[in-house]
Amino acid sequence: MRATKRESVVVIMRKPSALIAWKMLVLSLPKGIAAFVIIVAGLSASLPLSVFLIGLPLLAATLVFCRSIMLGEMRYVTAWLQRKEYPEASASPEPTAVEQQGWRAWLVSVLKDGRSYRSILFGILQLPVGIAAFTFAIVLPITALAVLLSPAAYEVSMRLFDFNLFASDWRFDELFGWDMTSAQRSWVAGGVGLAFVLLLPLLMRGLGRLYAAWILSVAGPEPVSRPANPQEAYNEERFPFAMENHEIGAFHAERSIPPVS
C-alpha cells in the first residue's frame, strides 16, 4: 500500500521534460520546412495532372509523405505529454494485407482518409508555426543568459573598451530614490537574468504544451482498431484464459435446462 502511494506521488510530481520540449520546438522548423516543400511541390505537380488521371497516384504519394510527418510529430508530442523519453513504435500493417490490397484499393483508401486532407493543413501551417516555435526556443534562452551575464559584460566593456553599458540610471533615482552606481545596476540586471533563467523550464513546458495542442488538433483523434471477431475480443478482455470451442460446447451442455416432461 505504501509503495502504491509512493508511486502515485512520483507520477504526480513528475513533469514533462523542459529539455525535450526545447528540442521539440527547435526541430519543429526543419519539419515544417520539409512538410511545406512536400505539400506545395506535390500539389503543384499532381493537381494539374489529375485531369489525365496521372496525377492521382502522385497526389496520393504526396499526402502519404506529409501524413507520415504529421503522425510522427503527433507520436512525439504524445510521448512528451505522457512523460516518456521516446515515442512508442507505431503498429504497421501486415505485409500480406498490403500486398493483397493492390494499388487501386490503396489509392482509394488514401483519398478517402480524413487525415490525408488534414496533412494538407499541417503542411501549409506547420511552417509559420515552426518559425514561431524555433524563434521562441532560441531567443528566450539566449536573452536570459545574456541578462544573467550583465556583471561580466560590464567589466569587459569597461576594462577593454572603456564603455559604460549601464550609464543610464533607469529612473530608479526618481522612482525609488536609489543612488546606484553602474556596477550595482549591472548586478541588478544579473539578478533579473537569474530569475529569468529559473523560469525557463516553465516557459519551455508552456510553449511545448501549446505546440502539442496544435499538433494534436490538426492530426485529429487516434483511430480505434476494432477486432474482426467480437467474441475473441470479449474473451481476451474479460477472461485471461480464453476457452476452446469444445470447452464452450461442454459448458453449454452442462448448463442447459432439462426438458419439461
pTM score, whole prediction: 0.70
Angle at 145 between CA 143 and CA 149, to 5 degrees: 115
Angstrom distance (rounded) from CA 173 to CA 189? 16
pLDDT over threshold 60, residue 5: no
pLDDT tens-digit readout, 130-173: 999 999 999 999 999 999 998 998 888 888 888 887 777 666 66
pLDDT tens-digit readout, 209-218: 999 999 999 8
Domain-by-domain residue ranges, the chain?
16-219
Number of H helices, E strands in the chain: 10, 0
Angstrom distance (rounded) from CA 25 to CA 27? 6
pLDDT at 65: 87
pLDDT tens-digit readout, 76-129: 999 999 888 666 655 544 444 444 467 677 777 777 777 788 888 998 999 999
Phi and psi of 169, rounded to 5°?
-85, 0
Mean pLDDT of all residues belonging to the chain: 76
Q: Please spell the DSSP secondary structure of 115-144, one letter per residue.
A: HHHHHHHHHHHHHHHHHHHHHHHHHHHHHH
What average pLDDT does range 22-49 have in this prediction? Answer: 90
pLDDT band at 10 (very low <50, low <70, confident <90, very high): very low
pLDDT over threshold 50, residue 240: no
Q: List the one residue out of 137, 138, 129 whose CA is nearest residue 32.
A: 129
Q: CA distances (Å), 14 to each of 18, 80, 137, in order?
A: 12, 12, 22
